Amino acid sequence: MANLEINFAGIKAPNPFWLASGPPTNSGYQIMKAFDQGWGGAVWKTLGVPVVNVSSRYGGMNHRGTRVVGFNNIELITDRRLCDNLREMEEVKKHFPNHAVIASLMVQTKKEWQQIVSDVQNAGADGIELNFGCPHGMCERGMGSVVGQEPEVLETITRWVMEVAKIPVVVKLTPNISDITKPAQAARRAGANAISLINTIQSLIGVDIDNFVTYPVVENHSTNGGYCGPAVKPIALNMVKNCAQHPLVRLPISGIGGVENWRDAVEFILLGASSVQICTAVMHYGFGIIRDLTSGLGQYMDSHGFSTIDQFVGKALPNVKTWEELNLNYSIKATIDSKKCIGCQLCYIACEDGAHQAIELNDDKNDRIPRINEENCVGCNLCSLICPVENCITMIRKDDGKQSQSWKQRTEANHVPTTFNDELAGGLSHSVPDPMEALKK
Ligand SMILES: Cc1cc2nc3c(=O)[nH]c(=O)nc-3n(C[C@H](O)[C@H](O)[C@H](O)COP(=O)(O)O)c2cc1C
Ligand code: SF4
Ligand code: SF4
C-alpha cells in the first residue's frame, strides 16, 4: 500500500496535498476543518499589515457551459489582525501536530520581515512561505510580484529572512516574468530551502460590453487581477519543469496552479514537484475533494509500483527535451475507425480549413465517414483532438523507427533549409492544392 507521507525540505506532512495560501486558509477554523477531512498541509492566507479589501473581488471565465475554467481575483493579503491569526495558528498546531502549517508572509522592511518571521515561529509554524507573487494591489505598494520580478531584491529579502529563520523557508514565485528560473536561482543563492510556483497570472478576465467596464466590477470601475484555476495548469507545469531541470536551482518544488484532481497532481509530481498546493478547486468544490486526491494518488502509486512519492518525483523530466533534440523522422498518420465514427465530419472541416487538407469526404452523400489521405497527412494530431468519439481517430506510427535524426543532427550534417526557397523545406513532402481549387468547392 502506497505511503503518501512527505518530507518537503524538512516540512513533514501526512500527504503532499496542501491548501495554497488564499481564502480557504483565511482562518484556523477552515484549516482545522480541512485537516480533519484529510488535507496534509496548509499555507496560511498571507500575513502582513492587514489590508482593506473591495467588493466584488472575483471574476470567472466560463467556457461552453463549464463554469470557472479560469478564475481571477483582486483580493489582497489577509485583512485580519496578526494577533488573531497567530493565536489560531497555535491552536491548529496543538490539535494537528503532524500536519504542515506554513505561514505565508509579505511585509516591506527588514525589521518587519525579521519580526514577523519570529512571530510565526513562536506560534508553531512548520515552515514559512515568502509571497513574492501577488500581481495586483500589493505590487503597487512595492511588495508581491514586483519583488518576484527582481531577482536581486528577492535575494536580499530572502537573506534577511534566512538570518532569523529556524524553520524551512519556501520562496513563492510569480509567473509574471519571462524566465522563472532567474528568481528561482536567486532564492537558491539566498539559501532558501524550497520554492513554490505559480502564484496568479496578471490578467483581465473580461469586459462588460454594455457598461464598458472590466470584471470584477467595483461600483463602476475595475482593475487587473490574478488568474488561476484549471486554465493556468499548462503554464504552471512548464514553469515547474523549467525550475526542476535547471542545474542552478536544485531546490524542492511545491507545484501550484490549476490542480483539481489526483491526475493533475501526479502531472506536477512527475515534472519535479514534491508537494502540491490547491486554491481555486477548493473554492469551487470545497475541502471534500481531498478524498479523490488521496485515494486516486494512492491507487496510481500502487498500480505503478511506487511505494513513496519520492520514487516518482521528476520521473517525466528526462523525456522533456528541447525542440532541436526531437526526432524529425518520427512519422505518424491519422486513422479513422469506421465502426466508431458517427459521421459528424468535424475532423474534415478542421483539417480542410485549419490544417493540411488530408481528410476527404465521399462522393456518396449517404456515406458520411471521411477518409484520410495519408500522403497529405502531416500527423499534426488536430483531427484526433477534435473528434468527439473517444479513440475513433488514432495516430499510427509509419516510419520504421530505425533512423532517428534531430534538427541538431541535421544542422551538424548541413542538411537543413538555410535559404528562403530551399529545396530542403519540410513542406515539399506533402502536396498543397492550387489556390484556384478553393473557388471550385
Ligand atoms: C482569491 C485568491 C486569493 C489568493 N490569495 C493569496 C495570498 O494571500 N497569498 C498567496 O501567496 N497566494 C494567494 N493566492 C494564489 C494561490 O495561492 C495560488 O498560487 C493560485 O491561485 C494558483 O493556484 P490555483 O489554480 O489552485 O488557484 C490567491 C488566489 C486566489 C484565487
Ligand atoms: S470527427 Fe470523428 S466521429 Fe466525426 S466524422 Fe471525424 S472521425 Fe468520424
Ligand atoms: S493529423 Fe492533421 S494533417 Fe493528418 S488528417 Fe488529422 S488534421 Fe489532417
Domain of residue 120 covers: 6-316
pLDDT of the chain, 441 residues: tens digit per residue: 899 999 999 999 999 999 999 999 999 999 999 999 999 999 999 999 999 999 999 999 999 999 999 999 999 999 999 999 999 999 999 999 999 999 999 999 999 999 999 999 999 999 999 999 878 777 788 888 888 899 999 999 999 999 999 999 999 999 999 999 999 999 999 999 999 999 999 999 999 999 999 999 999 999 999 999 999 999 999 999 999 999 999 999 999 999 999 999 999 999 999 999 999 999 999 999 999 999 999 999 999 999 999 999 999 999 999 999 999 999 999 999 999 999 999 999 999 999 999 999 999 999 999 999 999 999 999 999 999 999 999 999 999 999 999 999 999 999 999 999 999 999 998 889 999 999 986
CB atoms within 10 A of CB 241: 22
Q: Give pLDDT, residue 266.
A: 98
Pocket test for ligand 1, best of 279, 280, 290 (most atoms within 8 A of CB): 279
Would 345 be classed as within a structural domain? yes
Both 309 and 327 in a single domain?
A: no
Nearest CA to ligand 3 atom 2: 380
Q: Please list, in sequence order, all residues whose beta carbon lies within 8 angstroms of the beta carbon of residue 8, skipping any fewer than 6 positions away.
A: 16, 100, 168, 194, 252, 254, 274, 275
CA of 359, nearest ligand number = 3
CA of 79, nearest ligand number = 1
- Cα(416) to centroid(ligand 3), Å: 24
Q: How many residues does the chain have?
A: 441
| Angle between helix 262-270 and helix 233-245 axes, rounded to 10 deg | 30
Both 178 and 247 in a single domain?
A: yes
Nearest CA to ligand 3 atom 6: 383
Contact 31, 42 (CB under 8 A): yes
pTM for the whole thing?
0.97
Cα distance between residue 406 and residue 325, in whole Å? 5
| CATH code for position 378 | 3.30.70.20
Both 312 and 327 in a single domain?
A: no
CA of 56, nearest ligand number = 1
Contact 4, 297 (CB under 8 A): yes
Both 306 and 339 in a single domain?
A: no
Which of 295, 316, 337 is the C-terminal boundary of a domain? Answer: 316
Would 441 be classed as within a structural domain? no
Strands (E), 233-272: 253-256
Both 169 and 83 in a single domain?
A: yes
Pocket test for ligand 1, best of 17, 18, 19, 21 (most atoms within 8 A of CB): 21
Cα distance between residue 274 and residue 255, in whole Å? 7
CA separation (Å) from 436 to 328, 351, 361? 32, 18, 19
Nearest CA to ligand 1 atom 21: 228
Cell of 84: 488573531
Both 339 and 285 in a single domain?
A: no
Nearest CA to ligand 1 atom 28: 22
Name all residues whose Cβ lies below 6 A of ligand 3: 334, 351, 355-356, 358-359, 372, 377-383
CA separation (Å) from 285 to 38, 50, 92, 174? 15, 27, 23, 25
Catalytically active residues are 134
CA of 367, nearest ligand number = 2
Count of domains forming the chain:
2
Cα distance between residue 428 and residue 426, in whole Å? 6
Cα distance between residue 194 and residue 182, in whole Å? 14
Cell of 4: 503518501
Both 73 and 201 in a single domain?
A: yes
Both 342 and 282 in a single domain?
A: no
Q: Give pLDDT, residue 133.
A: 81
- Cα(137) to centroid(ligand 3), Å: 46
3-state secondary structure of 197: strand
Instruction: Compute and round to an integer the Cα radius of gyration of the chain.
Output: 26
Q: Give pLDDT, residue 196.
A: 98
Contact 15, 4 (CB under 8 A): yes
- Cα(271) to centroid(ligand 3), Å: 29
- Cα(436) to centroid(ligand 3), Å: 22
Both 163 and 275 in a single domain?
A: yes
Start-to-end CA distance of the chain, whole Å, equals 61
Name all residues whose Cβ lies below 6 A of ligand 1: 20-23, 45-46, 71, 73, 75, 77, 104, 131, 133-134, 172, 199-200, 228-229, 232, 256-259, 278-281
Which of 285, 316, 347 is the C-terminal boundary of a domain? Answer: 316
Both 264 and 285 in a single domain?
A: yes
Both 274 and 367 in a single domain?
A: no
Which of 275, 290, 316 is the C-terminal boundary of a domain? Answer: 316
Both 146 and 241 in a single domain?
A: yes
Strands (E), 294-416: 332-336, 359-360, 371-372, 393-397
Name all residues whose Cβ lies below 6 A of ligand 2: 336, 341-347, 370, 387, 389, 392-393
Cell of 425: 523545406
Contact 391, 335 (CB under 8 A): no
Task: Count Cβ neighbours within 10 Å for each residue of 328-346 and write b for 16 or more, e otherwise.
Answer: beebbbbebeeeebeeeee
Strands (E), 151-221: 169-172, 194-197, 201-203, 207-208, 213-214
Contact 268, 232 (CB under 8 A): no
Would 421 be classed as within a structural domain? yes
Pocket test for ligand 2, best of 386, 392, 394 (most atoms within 8 A of CB): 392
Backbone φ and ψ for 111, nearest 5 degrees, come out as: -60, -45
| CATH code for position 310 | 3.20.20.70
Long-range contacts formed by 357-362: CB under 8 A, 24+ apart:
357/432, 357/433, 358/334, 358/430, 359/334, 359/383
Q: Give pLDDT, residue 290.
A: 98
Nearest CA to ligand 1 atom 18: 199
Nearest CA to ligand 2 atom 4: 344
Cα distance between residue 31 and residue 26, in whole Å? 8
